[in-house]
Amino acid sequence: MSLLDIFLEALRSLSANKARSVLTILGIVVGIGSVIGLVSIGQGSKQSIEDQIRSVGTNLATVTNMAQSGDGLTQDDVNALRSVPNVTDVQATRAGSFDLVYDGTSVSSQVIGVSPQYAEMRNIEIEAGSFVNDYQDAIAAHVAVISPGTVEKLWGENTSARDTLGTQMRIGGVVFTVIGITSSTGGGAVQSLTSDTTVYVPISAAANALTGKGPYTNIYVVGAGESVMEQVSAQAEAVLRARHGFTGSEDADFSIMNMSGLLSMAGSVTDTLTALLAAIAGISLVVGGIGIMNMMLTTVTERIREIGLRKAIGATPSNITLLFLVESVVLTSLGGLVGIVVGWGIAALVNATGLLSASLTLGPVLLAVAVCMLIGIVFGYWPARRAAKLDPIEALRYQ
């Protein structure tokens, strides 16, 4: 028999008992659908996290003040970091938690004193109004740029962002005028992971009226590109350690976080979680494979006389083995095709809800097809070999 004849014979055999075939492949459908669905969710989540990090800039290193006493991060540190090779910009901020008050409504928020260059450096987009400018920073103007969360919590959910422009609010008891509202996308979205009511004011105004003129909270170091950030971070740490007198391996009074390194770490974590989810879903594939083996063993038992007749007219053990292996592979492949559709449906449903992001790529689909064929071969081999080893005389006598 040719391979085509064997394939057609397998289809006829499976269609002879449609209900049993459908129930058998159900485990494969669930397994493949679950694997593809969970992998697509993992890939989508990874892409979403990476996009959030890239919106801040992967060419950015953040130096955070950890000093409990002493000078901490100073302007001299900022000037020293500007001389580090491959550094294109250095900006400092002062931050603190303050109560925001408008028309009797109060909410606690992180207030950050920033330079005019901060918005471009952190990719902050403005929905309405404008960001802090050089003149406002020079005169320490009491102006504020607020987030959409601040608008919602202080002015109300139905308030348009533009309606808040020009209004006055109190920050830590000091009056500030709203000049801009950030967008919910861009670098501001990453800032909102820790606080959805972030407020930006001129760094000079923060020093004069809010945080005081002590150490900077953060210093942001912008590198020439993502590829040089590891080197920039190491050199920046060496410069600051030397300036602050930490010559050994002891903990310094500052910490450095490299956005490029954070991107790599986030990718590694999401890849691990995706693999774990896929492995858990893959258990159902093993269960489905056992179901395939059980059905094929039953099929062999039901067709013992047919096997004996085939051997009596010249079928070789390899012909019999191939016949049942093809049946097993066809069965799992059909389940795999339906499972791919189910997995695609899961990904589409997740994206439609907007709660998570799912990204379906060709890789998991091709892997699913390969796994289906492998399951068909592995779990169909024993029943096929059992059929091939039957003695034709005894098989023909089987009742």
Q: Which pLDDT score, from 0 to 100, does residue 194 have?
A: 45
Please identify every stretch of the chain with a pLDDT value under 70, giving residue numbers as ranges: 1-3, 5-6, 54-57, 185-195, 249, 260-261, 393, 395-399
Q: Which residues have CB under 8 Å from 347's CB, separation 6+?
A: 36, 37, 40, 41, 44, 358, 359, 360
Q: Where are the beta strands (DSSP E) in 130-225?
A: 143-146, 168-171, 174-186, 199-202, 218-223
State the virtual CA torsion across 337, 341, 347, 353 in degrees, nearest 10: -160
* pTM for this entry: 0.64
- b/e sequence 365-389, b meaning 16+ C-beta within 10 Å: beebbebbeebbeebbbebbebbbe
Q: What is the DSSP string of 301-355?
A: HHTHHHHHHHHHTT--HHHHHHHHHHHHHHHHHHHHHHHHHHHHHHHHHHHHHSS
- Determine the distance from the C-alpha atom of residue 121 to the mean position of all C-alpha atoms in its chain, rounded to a whole number: 24
Q: Count of alpha carbons within 13 Å of 348, Cβ hemisphere only?
A: 7
Which of 20, 17, 32 has its CA nearest to residue 333? Answer: 32
Distance CA 305, CA 1 (A): 19
- Determine the distance from the C-alpha atom of residue 205 to the mean position of all C-alpha atoms in its chain, rounded to a whole number: 38
Encoded tokens for 95: 């931050």
> How many H helices and E strands in the chain?
14, 10
Distance CA 181, CA 161 (A): 7
- Determine the distance from the C-alpha atom of residue 338 to the mean position of all C-alpha atoms in its chain, rounded to a whole number: 26
Residue 156 CB coordination number (10 Å): 11
Q: Which pLDDT score, from 0 to 100, does residue 1 have?
A: 57
Q: Which pLDDT score, from 0 to 100, does residue 189 have?
A: 45
Residue 109 CB coordination number (10 Å): 24
